[in-house]
Amino acid sequence: MTTNAEIQTALPALASGNVAVITGAASGIGLAAAKRLAAMGMKIVLADIGGARLDEARHAVAAIAGESAVLAVATDVSKADELDRLAERTFGAFGDVSLLMNNAGVGNNPGKPWENREAWKQLLDINFWGVIHGVEAFAPRMLAAGKPGLIVNTGSKQGITTPPGNLAYNVSKAGVKTYTEGLAHALRNEPGANVAAHLLIPGFTFTGLTEGATEKPAGAWTGEQVIDFMLASVLRGDFYILCPDNEATRSMDEKRMAWAIGDIIENRPALSRWHPDYKEAFAAFMK
Ligand SMILES: NC(=O)c1ccc[n+]([C@@H]2O[C@H](COP(=O)([O-])OP(=O)(O)OC[C@H]3O[C@@H](n4cnc5c(N)ncnc54)[C@H](O)[C@@H]3O)[C@@H](O)[C@H]2O)c1
């Protein structure tokens, strides 16, 4: 595990007393981030849909950071005005923000490409637009402050290799990947800017999103492992925070991604990895 001292010496954005805003903070990866950053002495703003889980998360984080260092704000990231309100509450309570984690996400599968438009829109409004709403609400003030800042958006391997199963989720996370790449480029070309963007790409992680499992599957990482890997990656200066898990190694992910982009280069059918004619070729490629 990377120590807090190592991280905070190299990354002034994460200094004790600085402010971190985390969406989707009532559960899973977001809650693990909140607890770890609280243990580093940061002030924490927890944003999630309201209710008992958000209250419980606030209690848990306050037990680490102290009551006065935690703010919980019921926020629906699919609504731009709620992110604006979150920003007002945050800047009013704590002042400048140095870490924004746009992490809220849902996995409800709306089904086929031509069905359930409203459910498709809802998923995209949360997973994709939620990230943009967060950046719009916080980035201008983070830039204006002129201080070191980080924006971490949570994508997914499903937004890169786009496996069949939940197309709307894949589309949303492919959008987050492209948006965050463009955000990183825009930030590094902004005169005087000291804010960097990163794409968090968790592997299989045991959280509220892991359907059906009551205890951690052997192949999954915990949220805490993801956050430790995230901090170590940001420390190295990595834009792509490509997390392995207990099943997928980095080299397996590299091959899967190479095969996916190879569909275009080799003029194979879309998603050839799951096409019966390419089963053997893909298996051989992975060896
Ligand atoms: N768990 C995995 O294996 C995995 C893998 C890749 C990516 N991810 C991504 O990681 C992120 C965190 O997910 P998690 O696995 O910790 O799941 P989780 O369900 O434990 O946490 C997601 C949180 O987002 C909140 N949320 C949902 N809709 C919201 C909305 N409209 N506004 C505000 N908050 C909302 C939920 O209430 C929940 O607390 C998500 O973006 C997810 O897509 C997870």
What tens digit of pLDDT does each residue of 86-106 get?
999 999 999 999 999 999 999
Catalytic positions, please?
169
Residues 144, 155 within the same domain: yes
Yes or no: say if 69 and 35 are a contact pair by the CB < 8 Å rule: no
- Using a 6 Å cutoff on CB, does residue 24 contact ligand 1? yes
Ligand 1 atom closest to the CA of 125, numbered from 1 = 31
DSSP string covering 15-36? -TT-EEEEESTTSHHHHHHHHH
Pair (151, 235) in one structural domain: yes
pTM for the full model? 0.98
Distances (CA, A) of 202 to 24, 232, 236: 14, 14, 17
> How many Cα atoms are found within 13 Å in the side-chain-facing hemisphere of 46?
33
C-beta 207 within 6 A of ligand 1: yes
Distance 56 CA to ligand 1 centre (A): 16
Q: Are residues 257 and 129 in the same domain?
A: no
163 lines ligand 1 (CB under 6 A): no
Same domain, 187 and 163: yes
At 227-238, the pLDDT tens digits run 999 999 999 999
- Into how many domains does the chain fold? 2
Q: Do residues 35 and 165 share a domain?
A: yes
Which residue among 21, 22, 27, 81 is best mutated to probe the pocket of ligand 1, counting the most ligand atoms within 8 A of its Cβ?
27
Same domain, 193 and 260: no
- 239 & 282 share domain: no
Q: Looking at the structure, do residues 150 and 194 belong to the same domain, yes or no?
A: yes
Which alpha helices (H) appear in the chain, and where do they start and end? 4-10, 28-39, 52-65, 80-94, 117-127, 129-145, 167-188, 223-236, 250-265, 279-286
The answer to whether residues 201 and 161 touch, using CB atoms and an 8 Å cutoff, is no
For the residues 159-177, what does the mean pLDDT come to?
98
What backbone torsions phi and psi does residue 260 show, to the nearest 5 degrees?
-60, -45
Whole domain around residue 261: which residue ranges? 249-287
Q: Which helix (H) or strand (E) holds 43?
A: strand 43-48
Same domain for 168 and 141: yes
Question: Is the CB of 48 within 6 Å of ligand 1?
Answer: yes
Enumerate the β-bridge partners of residue 28.
none
**Residue owning the nearest CA to atom 31 of ligand 1:** 76
CATH number at residue 179: 3.40.50.720
Are 137 and 267 found together in one domain?
no
pLDDT at 192 over 80: yes
- Helix H, strand E, coil C: the string for 222-251 is EHHHHHHHHHHHHHHCCCEEECCCCCCCHH
Å from CA of 29 to ligand 1 middle: 7
Instruction: Say if CB 203 and CB 156 are below 8 A apart.
Output: no
Structure tokens at 81: 């005005």
The mean predicted confidence, pLDDT, of the chain is 97
Same domain, 9 and 85: yes
**Tokens of residue 125, six digits:** 């409004």
Domain match, 16 and 117 both: yes
Q: Which two tokens stand for residue 90?
A: 């945050």
pLDDT digits (tens, 9 = 90+) for 28-76: 999 999 999 999 999 999 999 999 999 999 999 999 999 999 999 999 9
How much is the pLDDT for 56? 97
Pocket test for ligand 1, best of 209, 225, 245 (most atoms within 8 A of CB): 209
